[in-house]
Every structure is written in C-alpha cells, then in structure tokens.
C-alpha cells in the first residue's frame, strides 16, 4: 500500500542576497493513514519549511533542489495549478501557530468556515463543523468576528476548518505555542482525536517534547534540515540512538527529576549553505570522532528506528570511548 505521505531526499534552499541557505537537507519521511507523527527540533531546524513544502506553500524565494514529496503516491511538485488547488483543498489541512492570524479579521467566522467546506456550504454544515470541535454555541460563533473569540476558541475554529473536507493529511505547525498552558492539552486532545476519528495523518510540528511524547505514535527528530532519528515514540524517548535526541531529552524540563537540572545544549544550530558533507551536529556533539567531521552519515535501521549517526550503536549502549 502506498503511504499517505512520503518525503524522499528532499532538499530546499532559500535564495537570499548573500547566496543560498539550505533549510531542508535531504529529509526522508513516510507516514501512514491514521497515525500521529511528531516532528521535533529547535527553531530553524527546518520543521516549518518541511510542513509548508507538503502543500507546496513555500515562500517565493524557496527553491527545491532535490527530492520529492508524494501525497497518496502523487508528486506534489509535478502537479499543475488546478491539480495543486484540488490537492490543497481536498487532501491537506493546515493548523498554524497563531489562531487569530489564521482567520481573516474582516470576515465573520461562518463565512470563513463556509469557504473551507466543499461546494457552497450551508449554515447547518457550518454549525456542524463548529459543533464537532467543541464550540457548543455554534450559531453565535458563526456570527462573530475573529477578534471576538479567545485564542482557544479561534484555534478550535481553525481545526474545524482544516478538517472540514476530511483531508488525508493534517499539518499542525506549533498549534499550541500561542495558547495558554491550561488549554494546550484540550486543543491537542481535540486535534488528535478528530484526526484519529477521520483517519487523517497528523503531522505535529513542535518543540514541545512533552506534548510530542504524549500524543505521537511515531516521532521524527529534525536537526540541520535532516530527520536524524525516526521511530516509535516509545523507543525513541526511552533509548535514543542519536546524540541530539539524547541531549534534547536531558534539556527538557518536564523530564528532569525533582532536584535535578535541565542541561542546555551548547552551541547554536548550523546555517548550511549547501549539502552538508559531514554530520551537521558534530560541532555540538559529545560523541564526535574523526569520521563524523569527514563523512556524511546515511540513514540506518538500528534497534527499531531509523537513525542518521555514525555512532548510534555506541550511543544506545552508552559507551563513549571509541
């Protein structure tokens, strides 16, 4: 069976006045129907670029260098304008970080939900969508303008809009980063629940390790534009094989025992100007050896996950000396 989403060796550059900057550097990923795939990584690792690339919604300065994205077996980069519009409308749903910014301030909610529905859309369908995302006062919400809603309500509306046409893939880019801590889990419960109910793949882009661990079936850790470790979250969060994953876990406050200290990761993420011909994490890694700075690591299957590291076996075993 073809996977709902397959990303093969994708590389994306951004053109700037000072030359090209590589945002995604040979990313590979697949996702099957009905699963929640968490993508974690620090700011600037290429998460958002990857997410937008799935809908071919990249900024005008972005350039696909190599690779492809297949949605249901069809390449999104090969589609003509009409087919692309159909794909975006019928098969993809996006949920963004700032819920208020996702809604047009000059239009009533009902009209905006209608535009997300197939065909003309009726008031009853609009209310059904709003009701499904837990807005019991659907009629009033439909008549409101975005500024009259709270952030949580607005995010519920945008989840409803993203799922209104029963898309196959839903991409949520930091869906709770702009919300109060108290409603984060409500929104994530709703999002994952609705996706599971409709059988959609949920790609959850976040740097909130705790949420990813709780809600994802599988996790992909992104660093320097590559997916450095991908596998079931139960395996990856308990026995990481990539040093970056291990350091992320130690830096996460939620996982530090009481009285312990979160350990920050020293250094800064790389800015790549082209294909990285070594391990991009090597300058910040405590496991670095000679080949890490000389040879680009390729993806390998080790102990139930895919990992991009020369020293993955040692990292799992915890043997630092080489």
Interface residue list for other proteins (CB under 8 A) = 55, 57, 60, 85-86, 88-89, 92-94, 96, 98, 101-107, 112, 115-116, 158, 161
d(CA 200, CA 171): 10
Least separation in angstroms between CB 309 and other proteins: 35
For 266-270, the CB contacts below 8 A with 24+ separation are: 269/42, 269/43, 269/44, 269/45, 269/223, 269/224, 270/224
d(CA 204, CA 254): 19
d(CA 26, CA 272): 12
Least separation in angstroms between CB 258 and other proteins: 39
Least separation in angstroms between CB 87 and other proteins: 9
Q: Looking at beta carbons only, is 16 or 290 nearer to other proteins?
A: 16
Q: With 0-12 CB in 10 A as exposed, 13-18 as middle and 19+ as buried, what is 201?
A: buried
Least separation in angstroms between CB 80 and other proteins: 14
Q: Looking at beta carbons only, is 167 or 269 nearer to other proteins?
A: 167
Least separation in angstroms between CB 141 and other proteins: 17
Least separation in angstroms between CB 97 and other proteins: 8
Q: Looking at beta carbons only, is 91 or 208 nearer to other proteins?
A: 91
Q: Looking at beta carbons only, is 203 or 221 nearer to other proteins?
A: 203
Give the number of other CB atoms < 10 A from CB of residue 109.
27
Q: Residue ranges of the alpha helices (H) in the chain? A: 47-54, 81-91, 99-102, 109-116, 123-132, 138-143, 151-163, 181-198, 209-215, 233-238, 243-251, 312-317
Q: Looking at beta carbons only, is 85 or 143 nearer to other proteins?
A: 85
Max Cα distance, the chain (Å): 67
Q: Looking at beta carbons only, is 102 or 245 nearer to other proteins?
A: 102
Q: Looking at beta carbons only, is 23 or 52 nearer to other proteins?
A: 52
Could you give phi then psi for residue 191, rounded to 5 degrees?
A: -60, -50
Which residue(s) pair with 22 in the sheet? 13, 272
Least separation in angstroms between CB 45 and other proteins: 20
């Amino acid at each position: 069976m073809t996977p709902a989403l397959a990303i093969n060796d994708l590389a994306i550059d951004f053109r700037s006045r000072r030359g090209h900057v590589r945002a995604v550097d040979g990313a590979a990923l697949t996702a099957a129907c009905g699963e929640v795939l968490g993508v974690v990584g620090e700011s600037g690792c290429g998460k958002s670029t990857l997410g937008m690339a799935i809908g071919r919604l990249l900024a005008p300065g972005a350039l696909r260098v190599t690779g492809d994205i297949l949605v249901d077996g069809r390449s999104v980069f090969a589609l003509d304008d009409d087919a692309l519009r159909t794909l975006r409308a019928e098969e993809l749903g996006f949920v963004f970080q700032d819920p208020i910014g996702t809604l047009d301030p000059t239009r009533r909610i009902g009209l905006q939900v209608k535009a997300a529905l197939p065909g003309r859309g009726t008031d009853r369908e609009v209310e059904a969508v709003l009701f499904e995302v837990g807005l019991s006062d659907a009629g009033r919400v439909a008549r409101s303008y975005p500024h009259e809603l709270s952030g949580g309500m607005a995010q519920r509306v945008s989840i409803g809009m993203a799922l209104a046409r029963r898309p196959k893939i839903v991409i949520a880019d930091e869906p709770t980063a702009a919300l109060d801590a108290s409603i984060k889990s409500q929104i994530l419960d709703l999002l994952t629940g609705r996706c599971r109910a409709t059988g959609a793949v949920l790609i959850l882009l976040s740097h909130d390790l705790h949420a990813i661990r709780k809600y994802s079936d599988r996790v992909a850790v992104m660093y320097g534009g590559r997916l450095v470790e991908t596998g079931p979250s139960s395996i990856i969060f308990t026995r990481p094989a990539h040093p970056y994953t291990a350091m992320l876990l130690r830096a996460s406050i939620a996982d530090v025992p009481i009285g312990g200290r979160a350990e920050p990761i020293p250094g800064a993420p790389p800015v790549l100007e082209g294909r990285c011909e070594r391990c991009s994490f090597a300058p910040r890694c405590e496991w670095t050896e000679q080949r890490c700075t000389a040879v680009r690591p390729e993806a390998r299957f080790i102990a139930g996950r895919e990992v991009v590291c020369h020293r993955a076996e040692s990292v799992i075993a915890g043997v630092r000396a080489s």
